Structures are given as structure tokens and as C-alpha cells.
């Protein structure tokens, strides 16, 4: 069996990377954080990605989508992670196969799991056109609610300055039922996979930036990349990123094959590995950069904060570890 990406997958990833390259990315060295508009969303970037069809990737062509699968989606979200693209991309991509009106990306959709203990936080609330809410003690239903009807207060200083946060002061009182328990499980599983792919993008670009800096920065008359300790740091970063990437792509293939028990375990494994790779690689990149890595101008802190936040999204590592242990 050939596990290499197909020509179509590589072309899709390349097209997404080209679009992202035309827009300012958070975390670019030596540049200030861009003003991204209402709700922390770069509207121009969102529009260009929507025109490319990224939100309808897994929607059949007969319904206005591209007719691809999860195996293609993870390539797209890895590119989003590399550029630290900000917005409710994951939730909108999850909503499109469920609700056809979201296929073209003209509407921005959020997703919140309100089955755990409060407090509840919502990202990009001011930019959302709709919000999907998972409710019930056993995640028994999915509601679509109007964001304007929610009672929520802005968080003054969120950990990730690129992502505006609101704290929900009261659960939605009403909403349209758009899915049952199986829908909720599927949304959370697919969301964990796409988030893991985004984390792989962070882990990969942090490796590249650390290696590039190690080749440029000199100390004692030599590039610091020639020192054995720095070589080991960069090699470990590469290994973590590639292991996580392999796990993410394996999980995507299993989801496309509809082998639910195996896919659920594979997605949880991928999420754990990708979260670890993103957080650890960003910390290591900061270490390789030395004092410069701690400065606001290098932008590395934005990757670390995003990786921290995403490690809590669509299931913490402890929750996914429990799912894996239950399957053994």
C-alpha cells in the first residue's frame, strides 16, 4: 500500500498555502500582529479560502462541495496551522456536511460543548452567524442557536491575543435541533481530527523556524546548529512532528473507511500526539532562539498560546487517554 500523499492532495495543500501566503500571518517575525477585523477573523482570507472551497471539502459535488474526504481535509488544516490562521474554520468545516447552507463559507459557524462543567467560553462570538451547541448529560442532541441571543461577556485578556473570547453567563434557552447523540459524537471526533491536523502544522513550522535560526545564529564563531545539543533539540522536534503527522493521516483514512471503533481510537491517539508535538516543539523553538525567542517581535509566543488553547479543544489529553484505555 502506498501511504504517500496523492497528486490531488498535494495540489490542494499547495493551493491553500498559496492563498495563505497572500495574507499577513500572525507570528511573522519582526512584524506587529495584524488587525483582523470583527471577532478576530481576517475577512479577506476567509473569503479567499471559501472561494477555494475548503469549507465544502467533504460535501458531495452534487450538493455544491468538492467531494473529498478527511484524508484531504487534514492537509488543508495542517496548512492553516502553519500560518496560524485565525477564525472558526474547524466548526464551519464540520457544519457544512451537516447543514448545506454552510457549504460555501458565506456564514461563519461556531461549535460549543456545553455538557461539561462551567465556565463555558466561546471563541470569535462577534464574528459568528450561527452557533452549534452540544447539550444533554450524555451529549444527546445538537442545537443551532442564534449568537445574538446569547448572554456572554467578553474576556478582557485571553491567553491567545489573536482569538477573542466570551464567557457564557447563561446556557441558550432555545434552539433548533439539528442532530442527535450520534451527530454530537461525530462532530467531536471530526473536530478533534481537524484540530490535531492544525497542531501538526504548528509543530512542523516551529521545527522549520528553529532549524533555520540555528543555521543563521552564530556563537563562538560557529553556527549554533553545529552544536550537538542544538542538533538533538531540532532532531527531536522533527521526530515529534512527523510521528504526529503519521497518526493524523492514519486516523483520517480510518474515518473515511467508516471503521468507527478503530477510527475513534486513532483520532484520540492523533490528538494526544499532535497536542504534545505542537506545545513541546514551540517551547523548544523558543529555547533554540534563546533570548530572542522570548521577545514579542519573534512571534513564537503566539504559536505557543494557540497550541495551549487547542490542546483543550475537542477533548483534553486525559479524556482521549480514557477513550483509548476503554478500547483496549
3 state SS for 160-225: CCCCCEEEEEECCCCCEEEEEHHHHHHHHHHHHHHHHHHHHHHHHHHHHHHHHHHHHCEECCEEHH
Which whole number is the average pLDDT over 235-257? 95
DSSP state string for 90-104: HHHHHHHHH-GGGTT
**Coil/strand/helix, residue 28:** coil
Q: Which domain holds residue 260?
A: 182-326
pLDDT, position 137: 77
In the predicted structure, residue 1 carries a pLDDT above the cut 60 = no
- Does residue 83 lie within any of the structural domains? no
pTM for the structure as a whole: 0.94
Q: Is 99 a member of any domain?
A: no
Beta carbons of 147 and 107 less than 8 angstroms apart: no
Residue 241 located in a structural domain? yes
Residue 301 sits in a domain whose CATH number is 1.20.140.10
Whether 135 is in a domain gets the answer: no
C-alpha span between 126 and 163 (Å, rounded): 11
**Per-residue model confidence (pLDDT) at position 33:** 64
Computed from CA positions of residues 115, 308, 242, 78, in that sequence, does the dihedral angle turn out positive or negative?
positive
Q: Count up the domains in the chain and report the number.
A: 1
Q: Which of the residue ranges 52-61, 181-190, 255-264 would you say has the lowest mean pLDDT?
A: 255-264
Most confident of 162-171, 218-227, 236-245: 236-245
* Residue 296 within any structural domain of the chain: yes
Please give the C-alpha separations between residue 175 and each of 58, 85, 152, 321, in angstroms, as whole numbers.
26, 30, 16, 32
Give phi and psi for 222, each to the nearest 5.
Answer: -135, 150
- Cα-to-chain-centroid distance, residue 46: 15
* CA distance linking residue 74 with residue 100, whole number of Å: 21
Report yes or no on 192 lying in a domain. Answer: yes
Residue 69 CB neighbours (<10 A): 15
Residue 34: what pLDDT?
59
Cβ neighbours of 156 (radius 10 Å):
6
> Among candidates 35, 54, 133, which has minimal Cα distance to 96?
54
pLDDT of residue 2: 66
Per-residue model confidence as pLDDT tens digits over 80-104: 999 999 999 999 999 999 998 999 9
**Which triple of cell numbers denotes residue 155?**
474576556
| Local confidence band at 35 (pLDDT 50, 70, 90 cut-offs) | low
* H runs (alpha helix) in 23-148: 43-52, 70-82, 89-98
At 159 the three-state DSSP class reads coil
Q: What average pLDDT score do residues 234-248 get?
A: 97
The answer to whether position 247 is within a domain reads yes
The tens digit of pLDDT for each residue in 122-149 reads 999 999 999 999 988 778 899 999 999 8
Q: Is residue 155 situated within a structural domain?
A: no
Most confident of 125-129, 210-214, 276-280: 276-280
Amino acid at each position: 500500500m502506498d501511504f504517500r500523499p496523492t497528486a490531488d492532495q498535494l495540489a490542494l495543500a499547495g493551493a491553500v498555502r498559496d492563498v495563505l501566503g497572500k495574507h499577513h500571518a500572525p507570528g511573522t517575525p519582526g512584524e506587529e500582529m495584524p488587525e483582523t477585523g470583527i471577532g478576530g477573523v481576517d475577512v479577506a482570507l476567509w473569503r479567499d479560502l471559501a472561494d477555494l472551497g475548503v469549507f465544502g471539502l467533504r460535501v458531495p459535488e452534487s450538493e455544491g462541495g468538492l467531494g473529498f474526504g478527511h484524508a484531504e481535509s487534514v492537509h488543508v488544516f495542517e496548512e492553516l496551522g502553519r500560518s496560524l490562521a485565525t477564525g472558526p474554520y474547524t466548526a464551519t468545516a464540520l457544519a457544512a456536511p451537516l447543514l448545506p447552507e454552510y457549504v460555501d463559507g458565506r456564514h461563519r459557524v461556531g461549535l460549543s460543548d456545553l455538557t461539561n462543567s462551567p465556565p463555558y467560553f466561546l471563541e470569535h462570538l462577534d464574528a459568528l452567524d450561527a452557533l452549534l451547541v452540544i447539550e444533554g448529560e450524555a451529549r444527546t442532541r445538537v442545537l443551532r442557536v442564534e449568537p445574538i441571543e446569547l448572554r456572554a461577556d467578553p474576556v478582557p485578556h485571553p491567553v491567545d491575543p489573536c482569538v477573542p473570547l466570551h464567557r457564557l453567563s447563561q446556557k441558550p434557552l432555545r434552539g433548533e435541533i439539528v442532530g442527535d447523540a450520534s451527530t454530537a459524537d461525530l462532530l467531536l471526533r471530526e473536530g478533534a481530527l481537524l484540530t490535531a491536523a492544525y497542531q501538526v502544522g504548528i509543530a512542523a513550522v516551529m521545527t522549520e523556524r528553529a532549524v533555520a535560526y540555528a543555521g543563521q545564529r552564530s556563537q563562538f564563531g560557529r553556527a549554533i546548529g553545529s552544536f550537538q545539543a542544538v542538533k538533538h533539540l531540532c532532531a527531536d522536534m522533527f521526530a515529534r512532528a512527523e510521528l504526529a503527522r503519521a497518526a493524523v493521516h492514519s486516523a483520517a483514512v480510518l474515518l473515511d473507511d467508516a471503521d468507527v471503533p478503530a477510527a475513534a481510537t486513532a483520532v484520540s491517539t492523533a490528538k494526544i500526539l499532535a497536542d504534545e508535538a505542537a506545545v513541546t516543539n514551540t517551547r523548544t523553538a523558543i529555547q533554540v532562539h534563546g533570548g530572542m525567542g522570548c521577545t514579542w517581535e519573534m512571534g513564537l509566543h503566539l504559536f505557543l498560546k494557540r497550541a495551549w488553547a487547542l490542546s483543550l479543544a475537542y477533548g483534553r489529553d486525559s479524556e482521549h487517554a480514557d477513550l483509548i484505555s476503554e478500547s483496549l
